[in-house]
Amino acid sequence: MNAHTRLLLLVTVALLALTLLVGPAVAQEDMVDDVTTEQPVETESGPRPLADNPRDRLGLLLLTAMFVGGGVALANGRRQMKGENPQASGEFRWR
């Protein structure tokens, strides 16, 4: 990859990231402007559930899977660096 291609790729990814960040904020502002009446605040006496809807439950499952996968990756990396795996010597080699 030459320098021009890398620069173009970096700028494209940065613009995409900014677009993904700005999009929901703009949509939220439009929704706030449409609300003209205030709804009464409901008071709950019991404990609030951890996940209110199926989308939140899926998010919790994905976060849990990410943390478990990260823990497995860290444990495997530690074993590799200590040389505990039979195919690993524990020293760094250029490939």
Q: Which two tokens stand for residue 32?
A: 């706030």
Q: Is 50 helix (H, G, I), strand (E, B) or coil?
A: coil
pLDDT score, position 68: 92
- Does pLDDT of 48 surpass 60? yes
Q: Are 62 and 54 in contact (CB under 8 A)?
A: no
pLDDT for res 74: 92
Most confident of 16-25, 38-47, 65-74, 76-85: 65-74
What tens digit of pLDDT does each residue of 61-82 get?
899 999 999 999 998 888 888 8
Q: Which residues contact 88 (CB under 8 A, 6 or more apart)?
A: 79, 80
Q: What is the mean pLDDT of the chain?
A: 77
Structure tokens at 88: 């690993």
Tell me what pLDDT residue 89 has: 64
